[in-house]
């Protein structure tokens, strides 16, 4: 469908200060899509919003990028002149290809990121729930899901742990495995902190958020089984939790051995801050395991190299599945003409039968069967030729010829 388009920004062309301003919560995304549906002639829409990207995919006969940026600007209360330069537009096949690459993790900051596939699935479910997913988007998304399955089975694009946040979560999982009712505290909710939070599961541990701006923690905790604590209560949070992850911006360490208190200690401390927010004296505390961002980064390098080698194979799968999708799309574009041709021939058939009123019921039933069989045989070749023309990119020419030969547009109007 030539009307499929995309508009968005990502970590590649927009700083975090811009990305966080146009990030949509699930509730905001739903409201925005409804506004979009009401204000424009949008047939289908998909809004993907993560900490690294906000992208809108939509189907419309008209180019409406500027108007949509204005709507985003109004919805988020941001002057449009501060946003427009960061948005990149995609048209037709480039929009489909880009969505493939995004969903498979080829465009992710963490190559092969597994989370993005789940985020795209949730966005698609929301579009379906809002009746903003039609035949084109349904087919495209299921083709992408199949491509993702092939990438998992046929390549190493998603093998290993390739982000600091996911390495941190792996460490946490191993540490809390044998702890009854484990408790995890996340201090700092910037981009890195939010990445960690996206990977953490509140089903495995009780999660507490601590942020200098408490309202941000409150917002991230809405609708989730997550606690929020005041930054002034940091000492108590450290004492109460088995795992402390710090991703806070600071010039000097804010967590040291003095914060741990007295008595037996068994804690995992993960410092994702640069400069470091945890004092190195914590390394000498019995029962404490301390990791910094450099140590976690070392663990990701091997996985990244393996994933980079998988890029050509993953891109090959994208192109193969795009070909299948494009073939389906082309056939969908000529299906109305095929149906009009069937209707026109069937109208002729019924008019001719109606002229022979003296036939018995048995004779009429026999003629119904014979004439319908003839129509099927007559239409078979044009349908095959149309599908072949789709593959050659020449469908428009043959559609025009059939319209002229059988006056299909006029026949359709008369039928109505």
Model confidence over 253-269: pLDDT tens digits?
999 998 887 767 899 99
367: its two tokens:
């003629």
- Longest Cα–Cα distance of the chain, Å, equals 106
> Which residue do the tokens 């044009």 mark?
382
Model pLDDT, residue 406: 65
Q: Average pLDDT of the chain?
A: 87
**For this structure, is 390 an active site residue?**
no
Model pLDDT, residue 69: 94
Before 275, cis peptide (omega within 30)? yes
Q: From the CB of residue 177, how many other CB atoms can be counted at a distance below 10 Å?
A: 9
Model pLDDT, residue 347: 81
Is pTM beyond 0.85? Reply is no
Instruction: Mean pLDDT check: name the lowest of 62-66, 275-279, 383-387, 400-404.
Output: 400-404
> What fold is seen in the domain 166-305?
Rossmann fold (3.40.50)
pLDDT class of 321 with cuts at 50, 70, 90: very high
Model pLDDT, residue 130: 95
Rounded to whole angstroms, the Cα distance separating 254 from 62 reads 54
Mean pLDDT of 335-356: 78
- How many angstroms separate the Cα of 406 from the Cα of each of 21, 40, 362? 56, 35, 31
Each domain of the chain, given as residue ranges in start order, spans 4-159, 166-305, 333-415
Model pLDDT, residue 413: 44
pLDDT class of 176 with cuts at 50, 70, 90: very high
Model pLDDT, residue 225: 86
Which of the residues 51, 69, 133, 245 is marked catalytic? 51
By C-alpha distance, which of 180, 192, 231 is closest to 209? Answer: 231
Contact between 3 and 59 (Cβ < 8 Å): yes
Q: Assign domain 4-159 one CATH number from 3.40.440.10, 3.30.460.30, 1.50.10.20, 1.10.390.10.
A: 3.30.460.30
- 1 pLDDT more than 50: no
Model pLDDT, residue 224: 86
Model pLDDT, residue 359: 82
Q: Which of residues 142 and 251 earns the better pLDDT score?
A: 142
Model pLDDT, residue 328: 82
pLDDT class of 340 with cuts at 50, 70, 90: confident
Model pLDDT, residue 9: 95
């Amino acid at each position: 469908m030539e009307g499929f388009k995309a508009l968005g920004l990502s970590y590649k062309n927009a700083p975090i200060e811009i990305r966080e301003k146009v990030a949509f919560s699930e509730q905001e995304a739903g409201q925005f899509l409804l506004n979009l549906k009401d204000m424009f002639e949008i047939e289908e829409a998909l809004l993907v919003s993560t900490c690294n990207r906000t992208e809108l995919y939509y189907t419309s006969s008209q180019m409406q990028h500027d108007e949509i940026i204005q709507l985003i600007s109004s919805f988020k209360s941001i002057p449009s002149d501060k946003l427009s330069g960061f948005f990149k537009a995609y048209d037709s096949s480039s929009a489909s290809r880009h969505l493939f690459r995004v969903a498979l993790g080829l465009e992710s900051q963490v190559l092969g990121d597994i989370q993005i596939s789940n985020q795209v699935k949730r966005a698609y479910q929301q579009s379906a729930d809002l009746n903003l997913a039609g035949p084109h988007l349904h087919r495209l998304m299921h083709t992408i899901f199949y491509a993702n399955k092939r990438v998992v089975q046929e390549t190493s694009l998603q093998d290993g742990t390739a982000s600091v946040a996911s390495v941190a979560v792996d460490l946490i999982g191993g540490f809390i495995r044998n702890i009854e009712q484990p408790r995890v505290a996340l201090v700092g909710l910037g981009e890195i902190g939010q990445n960690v939070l996206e990977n953490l599961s509140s089903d495995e541990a009780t999660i507490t958020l601590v942020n200098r701006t408490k309202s941000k923690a409150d917002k991230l905790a809405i609708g989730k089984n997550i606690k929020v604590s005041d930054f002034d209560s940091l000492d108590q949070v450290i004492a109460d939790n088995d795992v402390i992850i710090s991703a806070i911006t600071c010039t000097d360490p804010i967590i040291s051995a003095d914060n741990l208190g007295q008595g037996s200690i068994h804690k995992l401390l993960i410092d994702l801050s640069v400069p470091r927010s945890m004092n190195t004296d914590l390394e000498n505390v019995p029962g404490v395991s301390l990791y910094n961002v450099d140590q976690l980064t070392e663990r990701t390098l091997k996985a990244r190299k393996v994933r980079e080698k998988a890029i050509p194979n993953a891109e090959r799968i994208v192109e193969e599945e795009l070909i299948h999708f494009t073939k389906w799309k082309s056939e969908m574009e000529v299906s109305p003409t095929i149906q009009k041709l069937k209707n026109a021939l069937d109208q002729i058939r019924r008019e001719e039968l109606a002229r022979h009123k003296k036939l018995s019921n048995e004779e009429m039933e026999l003629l119904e069967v014979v004439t319908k069989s003839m129509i099927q045989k007559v239409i078979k070749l044009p349908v095959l030729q149309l599908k072949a023309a789709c593959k050659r990119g020449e469908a428009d020419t043959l559609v025009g010829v059939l319209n002229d030969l059988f006056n299909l547009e006029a026949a359709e109007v008369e039928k109505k």
